[in-house]
Amino acid sequence: MSDQLIIFDTTLRDGEQSPGASMTKDEKVRIGLALERLNVDVIEAGFAAASPGDFDAIAAVASAVKNSRICSLARAVESDIEQAGAAIASAEAGRIHTFIATSPIHMQHKLRMQPDQVVERAVQAVNQARNLCDDVEFSCEDAGRSEIDFLARIIEAAIDAGARTINIPDTVGYAIPDAFAEMISQLLVKVPNADKAVFSVHCHNDLGLAVANSLAAVRAGARQVECTINGLGERAGNAALEEIVMAVRTRQDLFKIDSQINTQHIVPASRLVSSITGFPVQPNKAIVGANAFAHESGIHQDGVLKHRETYEIMAAEDVGWSTNKMVLGKHSGRNAFNTRMEELGHHFANKDDLDEAFAKFKDLADRKHEIFDEDLQSLISQVELSPQEERIRLLDLQVHCNLGKDPRHASVVLDVDGQRQVEMAEGDGPVDACFKAIEAIVQSKASLLLYSVNALTGGTDSQGEVTVRLEKAGRIVNGQGADPDIVVASALAYIKAVNLLNSNAKANPQETV
């Protein structure tokens, strides 16, 4: 049995199936590159047959990423597998991941197929995929509720047909750690050709046990874990990559295997995913939450000052928390800016990109005294629209607040296709008034699905990072804005979302699996 744990990240596929977390092609490429920096072994970049947008995004990630294997999901359906093969064609190393449900409830009510037909379909799918790609993974959807003897039968057949990874998903988050570990142990014994494949697990978090189940399965012999950054994913999410990786690394005494993850890139990757999806990370989230390494109690602080390991089992720097708090200011030059960005894992593709980001940095430094790493990451995590797509721009904004019952007022000045337009509106609060004024000009008639504000750093001079999710005719877009003034950040986010709605940048919502 191998002593390496393969990390298979599905942020771009299962993570994107989180309601409201759909990402553009460019956003997926940015996350794909961050996953490559983390040294993730396999990146599941999407589900090629779900939509043309998903297909294009997989192809773009496959072309951009060189050092991680790029995978597409496919149902055990001929056309899905064909599209998966085509989408990963440009990858240095590719994988087709095909699946079919194996639980009685799914076979009877969803597939309406007999178990024999399911085995036959699985074998056909693996055979077809192997003709397109050497690396094929087969998943038994809803394995957590499947019968062990049927699982052993279909897995043996899939391995005979050429699957090199066998994934055991707990699709509905039903498993309990010791029973799930027992299932993996039994399969490793019952499947006669088990030694010809890597066993993998893919756990959902409906009972809050996705990470515990994955780790129990690793102890039982699973050698690939499917997970997502920040635990993003369907419903309650998937197992969180950062928790799996750090548990295995920190408890080498128990696991005796390790992953190849460059853990210093965990926090930047978490921030990037949070900022792109607009899903904030809760402060007490393990590893990547703002309080994950903060000690409040006097006894703990005293202990840590005397000897760090008294209360800390990991070093904050090892997962990418910066110890260098205040990094740059308005007198910092291009070189210092570029060097810090590289330290944060961001490499500008060319001089124009560097110049553009540096100009934004200078603009921010003029308004904000201290520039922290979080501010720098926010500068480059915003979606860039082309000048044609950026039809609407914010020129000016005034708000009036008060403590009484009177409505708040906002007046906005926008540039719409080169025309200056001004509107005033009333609202329950300054942001409400501001959005109404913008809407009076742009007339998007979109529904606001989410509005979230997150302080990027500590202190009242922090930039507020705002996400606005708009929906129109089934199309969902996320606009982000960051500014020391949260009303300005909100207006920028709203305008970005409207520009996105009017552009072709956003893929259509994904068909969920």
> What number of other Cβ atoms are within 10 A of residue 355's Cβ?
12
Could you give the C-alpha distances from 175 to 178, 222, 255, in angstroms and in order? 9, 15, 21
Q: Which is nearer to ligand KIV, 230 or 382 (CB)?
A: 230
Pick between residue 18 and residue 139 the one whose CB is nearest to ligand KIV.
139
99 binds, among Zn ion, ligand KIV, none (CB under 5 to 8 A by kind): ligand KIV
What is 171-239 written as a DSSP string?
TTS---HHHHHHHHHHHHHHSTTGGGSEEEEEEB-TTS-HHHHHHHHHHTT--EEEEBGGG--STT-B-
Q: In whole angstroms, how close is the CB of 167 to ligand KIV at the nearest point? A: 6
Asked if 170 touches Zn ion (CB under 5 A), the answer is no
The 10 Å Cβ neighbour count of residue 43 is 30
CB 225, min distance to ligand KIV, A? 12
SS3 372: strand
Q: Are strands 464-472 and 475-483 parallel, antiparallel or unpaired?
A: antiparallel
Smallest distance from ligand KIV to CB 422, Å: 49
- Give the H or E element holding residue 106: none
Binding track over 4-43 against Zn ion, x by CB under 5 A: ----------x-----------------------------
Which residue, 8 or 372, has its beta carbon nearer to ligand KIV? 8
Q: 324: burial class by Cβ within 10 Å (0-12, 13-18, 19+)? A: exposed
Report the candidate in 237, 152, 230 with the shortest Cα–Cα distance to residue 202.
237
- Cα gap 93→489, rounded to integer Å: 40
What does the alpha-carbon distance between residue 21 and residue 469 come to, in Å, rounded to a whole number?
9
Q: Which is nearer to Zn ion, 14 or 439 (CB)?
A: 14
* Partner whose footprint covers residue 397, from Zn ion, ligand KIV, none (CB < 5 to 8 Å by kind): none
In angstroms, rounded to a whole number, what is the distance separating the alpha carbons of residues 186 and 173?
20
> What minimum distance in Å lies between the beta carbon of 513 and ligand KIV?
5
- Output 208 or 329, the one with its CB closest to Zn ion: 208
Q: Which is nearer to ligand KIV, 73 or 281 (CB)?
A: 73
At its nearest, how many Å lie between ligand KIV and the CB of residue 141?
Answer: 4
Opening angle at CA 43, ends 32 and 476, nearest 5:
60
What does 139 bind: ligand KIV, Zn ion, none (CB cut-off 5 to 8 Å by kind)? ligand KIV
Interacting partner of 18 out of ligand KIV, Zn ion, none (Cβ under 5 to 8 A depending on kind): none
Least distance between ligand KIV and beta carbon 449 (Å)? 24
Residue 14 or 374 having the CB closest to Zn ion: 14
Binding site residues, ligand KIV, CB under 6 A: 14, 73, 99, 139, 141, 167, 169, 171, 202, 204, 513
Interface residues with Zn ion (CB under 5 A) are 14
